[in-house]
């Protein structure tokens, strides 16, 4: 296993360096990169996905390329044009909102800046990461909807709140579809959201669901329009998400797999970055030179090895 520390272009989830572990197997390389605060029971799913990538097999793709969205972190509105400039040809943008320590006015300014850059024909979606109450989400989406939202991702934390919000939006005639992310990838029953009608769109990530085939099964059983997303991965991790998106029978929305633009480095030379708004389906392998260049400090390597030891018995 190799552990790297890649600098971020902007602060994301409070960090300026993304630590990632990659490991080789007979099928290729797998990525193990749960966020640092995740405890072993949750991080173990990510280890399962890495093992699946390195030792398992991926489904046969049904498409050669996958459309992707730009990702705009909770940056000041003035920085939005520079962020979007990193995404070649993307006509969809996902905008972080409900950031702790920021206000709704900050969100409105950021989304307005995105809409200005994207133009009337661009698609804009927002992601609150469960940061709003039902009342706050209703107020925020009523105001943000004037910018023409494709959907709002995880506006509230719980499934019951998502159900209440969908009803309230309908009653007020606010046409903003709801997408579920954390309510799927962090749930003991990832299909519960679909069964109770809590969302219009399913956001699916390979790593927290245990691998490509496991995530594909969940997406198919949910029966909702699916968006495949990544979690600030290297190209090794994004390749797994790309394999999932390429295998889905239908792909009505752009996927959140263009996140490499948020990092100032990668472990492969043929990085999975958007070209003309899409990613070509492929699986690049890490470069020994880049693994050395971004190698984490010895104490961090030891920390990650212990994390694997803690997670493995829970698989």
Please tell me the distance from the alpha carbon of residue 190 to that of residue 219, in angstroms, as a whole number: 9
Task: Summarize the confidence of residues 79-101 as an average pLDDT.
Answer: 95
- CATH fold of 65-285: TIM Barrel (3.20.20)
Q: Where are the domains of the chain?
A: 2-56+290-314, 65-285
Q: Has 167 been annotated as catalytic?
A: no
pTM for the full model? 0.94
Please tell me the distance from the alpha carbon of residue 68 to that of residue 65, in angstroms, as a whole number: 10
User: Do the Cβ atoms of 236 and 29 come closer than 8 Å?
Assistant: yes
Which two structure tokens, joined as six digits, stand for 100?
């702790």
Which two structure tokens, joined as six digits, stand for 164?
């209440």
Q: How confident is the model at residue 262, as a pLDDT? A: 87
Q: Pick the closest to residue 154 from 186, 188, 128 (CA basis).
A: 128
H or E element in which residue 226 lies? strand 226-229
Cite the annotated binding site by residue number. Answer: 127, 153, 181
Local confidence band at 63 (pLDDT 50, 70, 90 cut-offs): very high
Q: How confident is the model at residue 170, as a pLDDT? A: 97
Cite the annotated binding site for Mg(2+) by residue number. Answer: 127, 153, 181
**What are the contacts of 239-242 at 24+ separation with CB within 8 A?**
239/53, 239/272, 239/282, 239/283, 239/284, 240/30, 240/31, 240/49, 240/53, 240/58, 240/206, 240/207, 240/211, 240/212, 241/205, 241/206, 242/66, 242/272, 242/279, 242/281, 242/282, 242/283
Q: Do domains 2-56+290-314 and 65-285 have the same CATH topology?
A: no
Task: Summarize the confidence of residues 220-242 as an average pLDDT.
Answer: 96
- Tell me how far apart the 2 most distant CA atoms of the chain are, in Å: 57
Q: Mind listing the pLDDT tens digit for each residue in 127-185? A: 999 999 999 999 999 999 999 999 999 999 999 999 999 999 999 999 999 999 999 99
Taking domain 2-56+290-314, whether its CATH number is 3.30.390.10 is answered by yes
List Cα–Cα distances, 156 to 72, 97, 179, 201, 252, in angstroms: 19, 12, 10, 14, 24
Q: Pick the closest to residue 179 from 198, 160, 195 (CA basis).
A: 198
Q: Has 186 been annotated as catalytic?
A: no
- φ/ψ of residue 243, rounded to 5: -65, -40
Give the count of beta carbons closer than 10 Å to the beta carbon of residue 65. 17
User: Do the Cβ atoms of 138 and 161 come closer than 8 Å?
Assistant: no
Local confidence band at 261 (pLDDT 50, 70, 90 cut-offs): confident
User: Do the Cβ atoms of 179 and 153 come closer than 8 Å?
Assistant: yes
């Amino acid at each position: 296993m190799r552990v790297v520390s890649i600098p971020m272009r902007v602060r994301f989830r409070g960090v300026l360096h993304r630590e990632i572990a990659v490991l080789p197997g007979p099928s290729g390389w797998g990525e193990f990169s749960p966020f640092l605060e995740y405890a072993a029971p949750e991080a173990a799913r990510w280890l399962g996905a890495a093992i699946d990538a390195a030792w398992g097999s991926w489904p046969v793709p049904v498409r050669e390329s996958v459309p992707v969205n730009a990702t705009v972190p909770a940056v000041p509105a003035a920085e939005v044009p520079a962020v979007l400039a990193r995404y070649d040809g993307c006509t969809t943008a996902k905008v972080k909102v409900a950031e702790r320590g920021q206000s709704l006015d900050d969100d409105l300014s950021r989304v307005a800046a995105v809409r200005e850059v994207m133009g009337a024909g661009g698609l804009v979606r927002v992601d609150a990461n469960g940061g709003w109450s039902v009342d706050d989400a209703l107020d925020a989406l009523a105001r943000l909807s004037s910018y023409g939202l494709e959907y709002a991702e995880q506006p509230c934390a719980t499934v019951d709140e998502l159900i209440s919000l969908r009803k309230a939006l309908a009653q007020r005639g606010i046409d903003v579809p709801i997408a579920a992310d954390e309510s799927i990838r962090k749930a003991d029953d990832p299909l519960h959201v679909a069964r109770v009608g809590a969302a219009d769109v399913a956001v699916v990530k390979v790593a927290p669901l245990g691998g490509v085939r496991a995530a594909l099964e969940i997406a198919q059983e949910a029966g909702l329009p699916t968006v495949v997303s990544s979690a600030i991965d290297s190209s090794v991790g994004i390749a797994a998400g790309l394999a999932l998106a390429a295998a889905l029978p239908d792909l009505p929305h752009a996927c959140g797999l263009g996140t490499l633009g948020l990092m100032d480095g990668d472990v492969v030379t043929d990085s999975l970055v958007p070209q003309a708004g899409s990613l070509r389906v492929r699986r690049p392998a890490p470069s020994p030179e880049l693994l050395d260049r971004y190698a984490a400090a010895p104490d961090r390597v030891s920390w990650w090895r212990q994390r694997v030891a803690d997670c493995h018995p829970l698989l």
